[in-house]
Amino acid sequence: TCSSGDFFMDKIGFIGLGNMGRPLAERLIKKYKLYAYDLAKTNLQYFTDKGAVACSSPSEVASKVNQIFLCLPTSSIVETVVNGDNGIAISAKKGAYIIDMTTGEPEITRKISDKLKEKEINFIDAPVSGGPKGAYHGNIAIMIGGTEEQFTKIKPIMDDISSNIFYAGKIGSGHSIKAGNNLLNLICRMATFEVISLLVKDGVDPKKAVEIIQKSSGRNYAIEITLPDNILSGKMVQGFSTGLMKKDAGVATKIANSNNVDIPLGKLSQELLENTIDEFGENADMSIVALTYEKLTGAKIRP
């Protein structure tokens, strides 16, 4: 049973069922009746096969349920899905909650939220970090921006997704922290590839270097997770595209610009990412960045 009262009932909406939305929705469908919408028919079909109701538009989703999750590529797509033709705003009821799990832009988020406030519709940001794997295991980090009252209201349903739910602060704070996190992930990843490539050039076994640095002061997410799981394993797939990383680092840059803050490491890491995108495109998996370093140094990190 749903712990959030009659208004929410045991049903939810989910729009955006791709790499990230799928494992998040997968956790919710265990407990709630799912009303789903996605432009990609195969992504929708995956859930209708599991008993979800397919809706024909975001507005139809909003006519059926009062809690709607979004996990879409960008904030401008979120804006269309909320305020565009056949958008959520057309049929959402007073008191409804739209929970935006997209890695979005704080400024757009605040704008959408302000506009919906007039209709007494709650729009809050709840981006995630930890990838499809973290969502699947129920421990993905979710950072929520909104009022404390809104946070308290949706906390029970968020607990059904993950054991790592955080209140980030006022509306947009979740998106700000997420953009900062991803820029940091990019910088650490590039720095780690640089150093491991150097060590390989010096004749070191990359597996040994990673194993030892995992217990040393240079450790970070790339050393602990990305390299062993996705690169040294030869898998070369993490389920996160170069294009999405470019977008996320770009959001952090926008935040830096609007605050007049210089981010030299951030800039350089984005230039390096651009080299990978020039060669492999924006749909390539982030693991492909390793190939750029191979080319740059002639050192092979992969098996």
Q: Is 73 in the site for ligand NAD (CB under 6 A)?
A: yes
Place of tokens 């010096």: 202
Judged by beta carbon, residue 81 or residue 161, the one nearer ligand NAD is: 81
Query: What residues between 154 and 213 interact with ligand NAD by CB under 6 A?
Result: none
Q: Does 239 bind ligand NAD (CB under 6 A)?
A: yes
Report the distance separating Cα 52 and Cα 66, nearest Å: 16
Residue 132 in the binding site for ligand NAD (CB under 6 A): yes
CA dist 248 and 127 (Å) reads 12
The mark string for 2-21 relative to ligand NAD (x by CB under 6 A, - otherwise) is -------------xxxxxxx
At 54, give phi and psi (nearest 5°).
-85, 130
Among the listed residues 111, 133, 178, 207, the single catalytic one is 178
Task: Say whether residue 71 binds ligand NAD (CB under 6 A).
Answer: yes
CA distances from 257 to 109, 219, 266, 288 (A): 17, 30, 12, 29
What gap in Å lies between CA 168 and CA 90, rounded to an integer? 29
- Cα distances from 13 to residues 33, 139, 208, 288, in angstroms, run 8, 21, 46, 34
Residues 24-63 touching ligand NAD, rule: CB under 6 A, are: 37-40, 43
Residue 258 tokens read as 């609007």
User: What is the nearest approach in angstroms of ligand NAD to the Cβ of residue 132?
Assistant: 6
Interface with ligand NAD, residue 102, by CB under 6 A = yes
**Integer CA distances (angstroms), 100 to 143, 210, 277, 286, in order:** 11, 36, 27, 23
DSSP one-letter code for 168:
E
Q: Does position 242 bind ligand NAD by CB under 6 A?
A: no
- Which residue in 23, 106, 131, 266 binds ligand NAD (CB under 6 A)? 131
178 is catalytic: yes
Instruction: Decide if residue 97 touches ligand NAD (CB under 6 A).
Output: no
CB of 68 to ligand NAD, least distance (A): 12
77 sits near ligand NAD (criterion: CB under 6 A): yes
Q: Is the dihedral of CA 136, 59, 143, 74 positive or negative?
A: positive
* Residue 267: HSE in the Cβ half-sphere, 13 Å Cα cutoff: 6
How many residues form the binding site for ligand NAD (CB under 6 A)? Answer: 28
The reply on whether position 79 binds ligand NAD by CB under 6 A is no
The whole-angstrom distance between residue 301's C-alpha and the CA centroid of its chain comes to: 27
At closest approach, how far in Å is the CB of 26 from ligand NAD?
12
Query: What distance in Å separates the CA atoms of residue 271 and residue 119, rounded to the nearest whole number?
Result: 43
| Closest CB 208 distance from ligand NAD, rounded Å | 28
Contacting range for ligand NAD; rule: CB under 6 A; set: 108-116, 127-135, 147-155, 219-227: 127-135
Cβ of residue 128: shortest distance to ligand NAD, in angstroms? Answer: 5
Least separation, in Å, of the C-beta of 202 and ligand NAD?
32
CB-based burial, 255-266: b 16+ in 10 Å, e otherwise: bbeeeeeebeeb
- So which residues are the catalytic ones? 178
**Positions that interact with ligand NAD (CB under 6 A):** 15-21, 37-40, 43, 71-73, 77, 80-81, 102-103, 128-129, 131-132, 239-240, 244, 248
